[in-house]
Amino acid sequence: MHFNASLLGLFVCILGVSADSASATSLATCNPLETTGCSPDPALATSISDNFEKESSNYSPYRTPSRISYGDDGVSFTLAERFDNPSLVSNFYIMFGRTEVLLESASGNGVVSSFYLQSDDLDEIDLEWFGGIGDEVQSNFFSKGNTATYDRGEYHPMADARASYHNYTIDWKPDGLYWYIDGTLVRTLANNTSEGYPQTPMRIYAGVWAGGDPSNSEGVIQWAGGATDYSQAPFIMKIKSLSVSDYSTGSEYEYTDQSGAWTSIKAVDGKVLGREGDTPVEDSESNSSDSSEGSDSSSSTGSSSTNSSSGSTGSTGSTGSAGSTGSAGSASSISPAATTVSPSNSSLTATSSLTSKSSETETTLSTRLSSSSFNSSSSASTVSATKNVAPLLGGDFAAAAAVALTFVLSLL
């Protein structure tokens, strides 16, 4: 099925009128695999640690800033009413690296706490917690926005993530990806997966959102654990501390072509993997963390849990669309790094509450609308994506967008 250009234009016009001040910023993201001339990504090129006793210059509010607060316990993300999506995004990118977050997830059926890394070309590394089920966390990944399947998520059993802070580490290298919980390795992903491998510069997102909101598709609601009961609000996710190490150096990261391969990334005034093996954490803005929650992450051998069942018809909030261009992020394009680094023994100083996956779905919607054609199954996914944007943008715009897209699709 193909989009008629005039109908697509009508939909875009409706979106423009409806968005008003609640515009979706991620819809305007420049994807280097689809567009030339995208701005370079500002590099972190060091190691930092924030305890969020006060607002940090390293991160900016992404959604619902009025529901984000700082104090002795770090940063709190409060979902108090429908359409709240308090979330932060980093003001920097890392090109391979390590994140360590000390996080307490939110309670509440259908409430999703999220911590994830995402690149401009929709590579992605995820951790997500479900408020109705406190004794597990889901890890996931995507390459180049490919959501053709939802079978790469895995669930990991753990002590109640809602009852106390836990230490979560993501160690991202060119030859493998490693997830840790409280110092125990729970999942390893090789760089030769058939679904591709995340390998382009990434920002960090954290926040909480209502996956069980009635505006979402039934598949998303089921994945999130059921309908959200707003009468039980507020639902609060907390991050005690967050440490980030960039394994590369330089001032910016540039895409030199549209392959999506890590070898095509240029570190301006620096070197990709120039810091791997030399990544001490530096306190950021005197926001050091003295948490003793973390354990020795190098001694773990835990195995990953069973496959995710999030392949429901509704998007699980992943970013990419199956129709995105540039599939060179496949494993075949990756050369293993010359050296690998075992996770440090430092305690995790970060707490994760990822920005809603819905934010990624905004980009998915943009990507799918920019495609010249897509099949009927992806049109259903597009409707789902539009509904997923609802909690992020507020009721008026969300409703208008859903109605507009439904109307356009009905004319096809």
Distance CA(180)–CA(175), nearest Å, equals 17
Q: What is the 3-state secondary structure (H, E, C) of 92-142?
A: CEECCEEEEEEEECCCCCCEEEEEEEEECCCCEEEEEEECCEEEEEEEEEE
Distance CA(35)–CA(56), nearest Å, equals 32
Token pair of 265 as six digits: 């990334």
CA distances from 391 to 259, 309, 379, 388 (A): 33, 23, 20, 7
CB–CB of 349/49 below 8 Å?
Answer: yes
Is position 100 annotated as part of the catalytic site?
no
In the block, residue with structure tokens 């009025």: 66
Rg from Cα positions in the chain: 20
Burial class (CB in 10 A: 0-12, 13-18, 19+), 242: buried
> What DSSP designation does 20 have?
T
Packing angle, helices 5-19 and 357-370, rounded to 10: 150
The 59-63 sheet, strands edge to edge: 59-63, 87-90, 202-210, 111-119, 124-130, 133-142, 154-157
Is position 362 annotated as part of the catalytic site?
no
End-to-end CA distance of the chain: 8
b/e burial code for range 366-398 (CB count within 10 A of at least 16 → b): bbbbbbeebeeebbebbbbbbbbbbbbbbeebb
Residue 4's contacts (CB-CB under 8 Å, 6 or more residues apart) are: 411, 412
CA distances from 185 to 74, 170, 305, 400, 403 (A): 25, 10, 11, 44, 45
Token pair of 148 as six digits: 């053709």
Give the active site residue among 128, 293, 360, 362: 128
Distance CA(389)–CA(307), nearest Å, equals 26
Give the active site residue among 104, 124, 293, 360: 124
CB–CB of 59/90 below 8 Å?
Answer: yes
Catalytic positions, written as ranges = 124, 128
